[in-house]
Amino acid sequence: MPLLEVKDLKTYFSTDDGVVKAVDGVSFSIEKGETLGIVGESGSGKSVTCLTIMGLNNPKNTISMGEALFNGEDLLTMSPGRLRQLRGNDIAMIFQDPMTSLNPVHTIGTQLVEAVRLHRDLTKKQGRARALELLKQVGIPRAEQRIDDYPHQFSGGMRQRVMIAMALINDPDLLIADEPTTALDVTTQAQILALIDRLQADYNSAVIMITHDLGVVAEIADDVVVMYAAEVAEHGPVEAIFRKPRHPYTWGLMGSLPRLDTDVERLVQIQGHPPSLLRPPSGCRFHPRCPYVMDICRQVDPVLAPTGDDPRHLQACHLDEETKSREAEKLLAGMMAGAS
């Protein structure tokens, strides 16, 4: 049994303008100790997928359908009390913006101790000892003094370390990291990613890493889900995605990888903007931006199906295998050339 199995997850928000289908039929699963990368532009539904799993959407205007089985229990239908028991204890989450994700009026010690004591019957002293331990593990210098400081006294990178400490303090089975490095500078990004990687090994947690950065995914993920406009465009093991990408959107993402070393013209660039989820395009949702668009793309929404050679590698595109193969080769060759 996978640790988490998400089946046909749908999350709809009702707004004044109508229903926004933020997640529209997403499925994936993750095993203990594995790392899953979810990639996509902002607004593709990757964050909402995770917030739905955590039960953190505003219940007043949200409808969620499908299943999210965590150790066989459906997170979407369980009681709020049971969900609270799991949250922060078995499933923990790190958020995108460490500047705003910590409560400004409490010391970080207080917030860490709160996280422990919500789930464990510890004294404040024991909780504080555990908090200190975690702060040291995440590499906060002089943790004994800094534990009584307030969030505004920390830098962004240090705050994200505090967030990671807070997420790991109860030794969770699953850690969801929602773009944990986006708000940080490049050097700090690398440090934080290395930290997550190391701690994952130490704690043997499963990690869902949400990002728009394929580079991050390539580094740490075992499996990759590429999302576009609330749907899965491509899903498979990391080698398959990077060596044999089979969706034009994935090509676009790879083509837009930041390349500091070359001024060669990019082979593929994604034109236009992500579509509105209030009124998504007919057929394939990517078709308005797709350079390979065909008539069928405008009519029929392609189903997510295995590629010919790998049953674990799923993609949703009407292009024939040959074309996909050829184009992927070209892309990869171009990237190599650029890199050399």
Q: How far apart are CA 201 and CA 222, in angstroms?
A: 13
Q: Which is nearer to another protein, 87 or 247 (CB)?
A: 87
Binding of residue 92 to another protein (CB under 8 A): yes
* Of 152 and 273, CB closest to another protein: 152
Per CB under 8 A, which region of 91-99, 253-261, 304-312, 322-330 contacts another protein?
Answer: 91-99
Beta carbons within 10 angstroms of residue 22's beta carbon: 22
* CB contact at 8 A, 278 and 12: no
Tell me if 106 contacts another protein by CB under 8 A: yes
For another protein, the closer CB: 116 or 227: 116
Q: Does 150 bind another protein (CB under 8 A)?
A: yes
- Asked if residue 17 binds another protein (CB under 8 A), the reply is no
User: Binding mask 37-76 vs another protein (x if CB under 8 A, - otherwise)?
Assistant: -----------------x-x--------------------
Interhelix angle 108-117/124-137, rounded to 10 degrees, is 110
Number of residues that bind another protein (CB under 8 A): 28
**Which is closer to another protein, CB of 166 or CB of 238?**
166
- Return the range that interacts with another protein (CB under 8 A); candidates 9-17, 85-93, 231-239, 250-258: 85-93
Q: Which is nearer to another protein, 61 or 269 (CB)?
A: 61
Q: Is 88 in the site for another protein (CB under 8 A)?
A: yes
Nearer to another protein, 51 or 214 (CB): 51
Rounded to a whole number of angstroms, the minimum distance from the CB of residue 42 to another protein is: 16
Give the nearest distance from C-beta 222 to another protein in angstroms. 24
Q: Which of 17, 72, 79, 104 binds another protein (CB under 8 A)?
A: 104
Choice from 7, 10, 32, 119 touching another protein (CB under 8 A): 119
Is 204 a binding residue for another protein by CB under 8 A? The answer is no
**Mask 231-270, x = binds another protein (CB under 8 A)?**
----------------------------------------
Q: What is the dihedral of CA 47, 189, 176, 32, to 10 degrees?
A: 140
**Pick from 68, 86, 164, 238: which binds another protein (CB under 8 A)?**
86
Question: Which residues are near another protein by CB under 8 A?
Answer: 54, 56, 84-89, 92-93, 95, 97, 100-107, 114-115, 118-119, 150, 152, 163, 166
